Chains A and B, each alone.
Chain A
């Protein structure tokens, strides 16, 4: 049993200003149970009247030790943990993970059909994630109806996910070497229907929000994030692009065949909350473009690599081929070994650079896996940009950097 340590105020004095110690400013806890913190996040605020003097984020309430747990599982089984990481971007997390595994073991014959399917589903996921963000953003700014509309549309995407993987959220659909199984015949129609409906819906949201004077007044010029500060704090994704930095991994380091699709990367230079909103709204349209192109080009063929050392054989082969049976047995009992080396592989998630540092030790389990999650670094910049703003603006700023607590605490 640990001895209870006597906590002294000395340890925490450096976090607040001198004025807090004399009682001139007030310390206020926002969260961990607060609807505007988008999860269990606690912000310790030092307030001068209604103005934020200091903001100290306290994270870790949702820490589940995913990195440690993944070390104890084989490469195939560790994948399910990535779903639980950033629950708004399950397909994207799967993609980041399987790409890291493929890079580590040198599995480079992923079929083109699987690549195209990955792109379609990841872009759908990006739209779904931005929809949740837009809904919650509206809710924080008292635009209640947007929330309901957004969740209505997100349901269409989750239905597509259920169609392909059997699960609405925890999909685990991408596997090292391809995808779990081919999509059903209804898939194409479902996506086409969505493509038909959704552009009109984006226009609807814009009508509700973009030029709404109440909305604009709350956002323009609030929470200015400078380009250099953003880079110093490792901010990535739409939050960085709203500050005028042209950096999107899909463009600069294309993976899964992103180079063959024609799309723009929305950039804004204002760097305020309104710019971050506009960038994400534009990303809806760009994602739709990518999905449409990928669906039109979707090639036929296998969806899994033929490399039996890493990819289990189809069920039909097991009954007739001795080798297939051996491979199946080895893969599901022991797993596949990975070399004693490390790789870093990153994809563009809806929130920014989602990186996986994966290190093998020669056996079937990872020696170390580190998840470089974008929300963690994006949140770290919050204290910098909220200083001098009202508490009500803090809510808007926090919503505009789009954090997911599962992504931060891992």
Chain B
């Protein structure tokens, strides 16, 4: 981990209980709970110069449900030339997250994308509409249980895998 980042991670861990971090290829992934995300971002922006929310996205770990999603906030500090990634595990049934538009205005469109692509409900969002897909789309395309174009034929080698995804196809 970058020396300049160590005190920042430590402070976040002290301020928010249950925050822990992982490292991979010199990147720091800091895990916080959904209810802590707004405060975490506010602290990082105001006290540690993380001015830029570079990316806001999610990843789906279906069929795992607890947590099913990780929502990812990639922060950049221009003044200190640092990066840190905040990851928020979100549950699979009724996924919800408070809005962070108050902290970073860029989150407005990015959170609409989350809503559109992953079906994660953003509480308190000023404009909760789909952004890329048409308004009448069914489902959320980037979820792992959303098929890509066609149905996969069931053979012996992938029977179990497909069976797991489609329990209704049993009989």
Contact = CB atoms under 8 A, between A and B. Distances in A.
Interface of B: 24-25, 27, 29, 51-55, 57, 59-60, 72, 74, 78, 81, 83, 85, 104-106, 108-110, 126-127, 129-136, 138, 141-142, 146, 148
10 contacts: A2-B136, A7-B135, A63-B133, A104-B25, A233-B106, A252-B78, A357-B72, A368-B60, A377-B110, A380-B108
Contacts of B59: 342, 359, 367-368, 370
A103 B106 contact: no
B142 A67 contact: yes
B133 A60 contact: yes
Contacts of B110: 377
B8 to A, nearest CB: 17
B27 A343 contact: yes
Contacts of B78: 231, 245, 247, 252
Contacts of A10: none
A386 interface: no
A106 interface: yes
A376 B133 CA distance: 15
A108 to B, nearest CB: 10
A72 B109 CA distance: 26
B138 A231 contact: no
From B25, B134, B135, residue with most partner A Cβ within 10 Å = B25
Contacts of A315: none
A59 interface: yes
Contacts of A8: none
Q: At the interface, is chain A mostly helix, strand, loop or mixed?
A: mixed
A234 B104 contact: yes
Contacts of B146: 68
B74 A377 contact: no
Q: Which 6 A-B pairs rank lowest in CB-CB distance, beginning with the nearest?
A: A234-B106, A60-B132, A372-B55, A370-B57, A368-B59, A232-B105
A69 interface: yes
B85 to A, nearest CB: 6
B25 A234 contact: no
A344 B27 contact: yes
Contacts of B108: 380
Contacts of B81: 252-253
B148 to A, nearest CB: 5
A49 to B, nearest CB: 26
Contact of B136 (A5, A357, A370): A5
A14 interface: yes
Interface in A366-380: 367-368, 370, 372, 376-377, 380
A368 to B, nearest CB: 4
A238 interface: no
B94 to A, nearest CB: 21
B109 A380 contact: yes
Given A72-B148, A106-B25, A380-B109, A234 B142 contact: no
A120 to B, nearest CB: 26
A341 interface: yes
Interface string A334-371: 00000001111010000001010101000000011010
Contacts of B74: 344, 355, 357, 372
